[in-house]
């Protein structure tokens, strides 16, 4: 009896996995991205699709569309440079990492 209940539970779980998921596809031509949620597609359209990167690393010239991606890159890839050149990346007014950005007042 316990074994049958377990088999039924497995069957019910398997059946729910077969339901096709709604995907939100990017409407822009040439973009094949799709997302499981509306907030995902809204974020993509606002910050990613067709948007040029605003943040460029001064050390390896890699470009980023989001500040947090750029900051993470600096902290993980160029950590040794920060130790010796904190004044390049650190603003005393606000404890945040900054770098090269066309629109940044901190460069």
Lowest mean pLDDT among 26-30, 33-37, 47-51, 103-107: 103-107
Confidence check: pLDDT of 39 > 90: yes
Pairing of strands 90-91, 96-97: antiparallel
**Binning pLDDT at 50, 70 and 90, where does residue 101 land?**
very low
Nearest to 69 by CA among 97, 41, 107: 97
Which one-letter DSSP state was computed for residue 66? S
Confidence check: pLDDT of 95 > 50: no
Average model confidence (pLDDT) across the chain: 75
CA distances from 16 to 10, 38, 43 (A): 10, 22, 28
pLDDT tens digits along 48-64: 899 999 999 988 989 99
Token code pair at residue 105: 């007042």
């Amino acid at each position: 009896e316990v074994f049958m209940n377990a088999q039924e539970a497995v069957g019910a779980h398997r059946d729910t996995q077969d339901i096709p998921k709604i995907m939100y596809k990017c409407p822009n031509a040439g973009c094949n991205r799709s997302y499981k949620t509306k907030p995902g597609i809204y974020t993509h359209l606002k910050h990613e699709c067709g948007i040029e990167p605003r943040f460029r690393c001064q050390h390896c010239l890699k470009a980023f569309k989001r500040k947090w991606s750029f900051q993470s890159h600096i902290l993980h890839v160029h950590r040794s440079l920060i130790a010796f050149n904190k004044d390049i990346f650190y603003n005393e007014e606000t404890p945040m990492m900054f770098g090269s950005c066309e629109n940044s007042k901190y460069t």
